[in-house]
Amino acid sequence: MARVLMKGCEAIAEAAVRAGCRFFAGYPITPQNEIPEYFARRLPEVGGTFVQGESEVASVNMVYGAASAGTRSMTSSSSPGVALKSEGISYCAAARIPIVYANISRGGPGVGAIQPAQQDYFQATRASGNGGFEMLVLAPSTVQEAVDLTYAAFDYADRDRNPVLILADGVIGTMMEPVELPPMKTDEEIAAIKASKAKWACTGHRLDYANRAWIQPGQWDTARMQRANEDAAALYASWEKDVQVEEYMVEDAEVVIAAYGVSARIGKSAVDLCRAAGKKVGLIRPITVHPFPYAAFEHINYDVCKGVLDVEMSIPAQLVQDVRMGVKGRCPIETCLCSGGNIMSRESVLKAVDAILAK
C-alpha cells in the first residue's frame, strides 16, 4: 500500500474511519484539535456523523449514546478535557459500552500548558474515572504506530465491551510522518459489526437484560454489583495476552532505558548513539502501558546492569512507579525528567546514561 504523509492527529482520525468508526463527538482543545477537524470533513464522506458538542461532558455522553446503539464511536481530547470526560467514560465501563478515545496529552496539572507532556500517566493507567474500572491503554511512539493501534483499538473495545484509550503526547499528535494506512472496512463489514451487537445494543427492540450491562443506572442490588465487579476483574486479568512491548538491545545492557511514547523514541536514538560509541545500553518500551509489561524487566541481566534509567516528560515521575515494580530492587533506578511543555532532549538522556556508567 502506498505511503502518505500525515500529521499524527489526522492519521489517528483516518485510521478510526477505516476501522469503521461512524460517529465522533468532541470539543476543541490544543493539541488535539486536528482530530475533530479531520472527522468533521471526513465522516460525511462515508455516511458518518460528526458533532461538536457544547462541552467535553456533552461530547462524551453523545458518544456513550451512539455506541449504546451499536455504532463504532470515538471521542478525543487533551489532558484537562479528558478529565471532564471521565464520568462518561466510567459510565461506558459500567454499562459495558465499547468506545475508543484518544488523549493527545499536554502539560499540567490543571489547565497547564498547551505544549506536549506525559503527565497523564496516572490518569490513564490508574484512575481514568470513578469506580476502579480498567482499560487497555495503548501508547504509540510513531505516527505509524498511532495508526495501527487506533485501528486495532476498535476491535479490542468490541471484543471486551469496554473503553480503550490511545495515549499519545502532543509531539506524536502534531508531527508529520509517512504512514501506510490500513484497509477501509466495507459497508457490509460495518453492518455485520453492528449486527453482532444486537443482543445488547439499544436499537428499538426489547432488550435482553442478561446481556445489556454489568450495572444498570441506579442499580442498588449490591450482590449483583459485586458480581459485576468480579466479572470485570476477570476481564482485566485476561489482558495479559494483549500486552505489547519493545525490547531493544536489552540482553547485555549495562544501562536500560525505560520509556514510552515520544520519550522512548528519543531514548531509542540515544541507545543507537551509545552502541556506536561502544556503550552497552538498551531500551524497554511499553506499548501497552496498561497492563504494564512487567515481564520484560525479567530479561535484564542484573549481573551486569548498573542501572535502569526512567525517561519521561513528567515531574514528578509517574512511569517510574511501574518501572520499580518491574525491577524489584535488583538494580538502581535513576530518572531523566522534564515537564510543563518542555520536550525531552537526547542530550539529557545521554548525559544521564553516562552518569550511571561512571558509577
Q: State whether residue 279 is helix, strand or coil.
A: coil
Q: Residue 151's beta-bridge partner residues?
A: none
CA-closest candidate to residue 50, choices 14, 30, 26 = 26
Q: Give tens-digit pLDDT for 78-87.
A: 999 999 999 9
CB atoms within 10 A of CB 183: 10
pLDDT, tens digit, 9 for 90 and up, residues 27-79: 999 999 999 999 999 999 999 999 999 999 999 999 999 999 999 999 999 99
Provide the pLDDT for residue 2: 73
Q: Quick check: 219 pLDDT over 70? A: no
Q: Quick one: pLDDT at residue 212?
A: 53
Q: What are phi and psi of 332, to 5 degrees?
A: -65, 155
**pLDDT single digits (tens) 153-207:** 999 999 999 999 999 999 999 999 999 999 999 999 999 999 999 888 987 666 5
CB atoms within 10 A of CB 229: 16
pLDDT digits (tens, 9 = 90+) for 96-127: 999 999 999 999 999 999 999 999 999 999 98
CB 164 within 8 A of CB 138: yes
Domain range summary for the chain, segments of one domain joined by +: 3-241, 245-357
245-357 domain in CATH 3.40.50.920?
Answer: yes
The model's pLDDT over 301-338, given as tens digits with 9 standing for 90+, comes to 999 999 999 999 999 999 999 999 999 999 999 999 99
> What's the pTM value of the predicted model, to 2 decimals?
0.95
User: What phi and psi values does residue 255 have, to the nearest 5 degrees?
Assistant: -135, 135
Q: Are 10 and 58 in contact (CB under 8 A)?
A: no
Residue 204 exposed, middle or buried by CB count within 10 Å (0-12, 13-18, 19+): exposed
C-alpha cell at 12: 489517528
**Joined grid coordinates for residue 110:** 490543571
Same fold, 3-241 and 245-357: yes
CATH number of 3-241: 3.40.50.970
Spatial distance between the Cα atoms of 105 and 171, rounded to a whole number of angstroms: 9
